[in-house]
């Protein structure tokens, strides 16, 4: 019997943008770079009359710093691989989280029975417990300052009962509301976060498709960004 046909690739940019995510987000360089840029402008204004050449160079440097600070967060290609996780096959997305206490490489792994996150304390979240995959954004940093804190997009997972997930804590639930059990900023996803968001939704909404997560077929589907409802 013939196997499934390899799906034709779709540009990730064609996937719907979640309403909860800010369209333009800046990296952690935003606030310190803008502060330094403002100081450079003030210094250039002070030196302008006495030394126009130095003032001009400082002003040029400040403009370049502003442009660098306001550049959007980088967009990553689709990085996903088939792995064997504790005896069960799955599709794994890598994360960038520096924490020496994490025993495994930071990642989010989708298996036929659960979503397994290693972004702190390892969590095994059965699909049967997941009620929602949310996209939201918040401002990080000190709220009462001259510059507004940069916006940061987050991807979170909510469950029916936090007590059913071993190792789950109340921290994320207090921050994002509901029974949020896992979450991470999209800047920590070393793959295309939009594809990860839609992949989680796809397999949450299509339980009949979850067995393919134990095969290479799921990796092919994800790399082709064929993770919208009508791709089922």
Q: Domain map of the chain by residue range?
A: 30-69, 75-231
Instruction: Indicate if the pLDDT at residue 34 is higher than 70.
Output: no
Residue 2: the pLDDT is 41
Instruction: Indicate if the pLDDT at residue 25 is higher than 90.
Output: no
Q: Give the torsion through C-alpha atoms of 91, 190, 114, 217, to 10 deg.
A: -20
In the structure, what pLDDT confidence band is assigned to residue 98 with cuts at 50, 70 and 90? low
Instruction: Indicate if the pLDDT at residue 120 is higher than 90.
Output: no
In the structure, what pLDDT confidence band is assigned to residue 175 with cuts at 50, 70 and 90? confident
Percent of the chain whose pLDDT exceeds 90: 37
Tell me phi and psi for residue 225, to 5 degrees: 60, 30
DSSP at 136: E
Record the pTM: 0.75
Residue 124: the pLDDT is 94
Q: How far apart are CA 105 and CA 77, in angstroms?
A: 19
Tell me phi and psi for residue 6, to 5 degrees: -60, 125
For the segment 24-28, the average pLDDT, to the nearest whole number, is 56
H helix intervals, 48-154: 52-69
Q: Which CATH architecture has domain 75-231?
A: Roll (2.30)
Residue 27: the pLDDT is 55
Instruction: Indicate if the pLDDT at residue 31 is higher than 60.
Output: no
Instruction: Indicate if the pLDDT at residue 106 is higher than 50.
Output: yes
Instruction: Indicate if the pLDDT at residue 176 is higher than 90.
Output: no
Residue 96: the pLDDT is 84
For the segment 176-190, the average pLDDT, to the nearest whole number, is 88
Residue 79: the pLDDT is 93
Instruction: Indicate if the pLDDT at residue 1 is higher than 80.
Output: no
């Amino acid at each position: 019997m013939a196997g499934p046909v390899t799906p034709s690739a779709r540009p990730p940019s064609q996937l719907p943008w979640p309403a909860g995510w800010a369209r333009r987000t800046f990296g952690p360089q935003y606030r310190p770079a803008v502060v330094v840029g403002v100081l450079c402008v003030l210094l250039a204004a002070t030196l302008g009359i006495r030394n126009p050449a130095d003032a001009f160079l400082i002003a040029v440097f400040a403009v370049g710093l502003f442009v660098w600070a306001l550049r959007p967060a980088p967009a990553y290609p689709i990085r996903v691989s088939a792995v064997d996780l504790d005896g069960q096959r799955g599709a794994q997305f890598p994360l960038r989280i520096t924490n020496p206490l994490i025993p495994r490489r930071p990642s989010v792994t989708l298996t036929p029975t659960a979503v397994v996150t290693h972004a702190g304390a390892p969590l095994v979240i059965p699909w049967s417990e997941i009620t929602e995959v949310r996209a939201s954004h918040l401002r990080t940093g000190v709220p009462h300052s001259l510059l507004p804190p940069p916006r940061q997009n987050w991807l979170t997972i909510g469950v029916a009962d936090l007590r059913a997930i071993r190792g789950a804590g109340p921290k994320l639930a207090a921050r994002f509301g509901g029974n949020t059990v896992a979450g991470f900023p999209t800047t920590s996803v070393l793959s295309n976060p939009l594809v990860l968001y839609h992949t989680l939704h796809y397999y949450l909404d299509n339980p009949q498709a979850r067995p393919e997560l134990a095969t290479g077929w799921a990796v092919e589907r994800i790399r082709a960004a064929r993770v919208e409802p009508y791709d089922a």
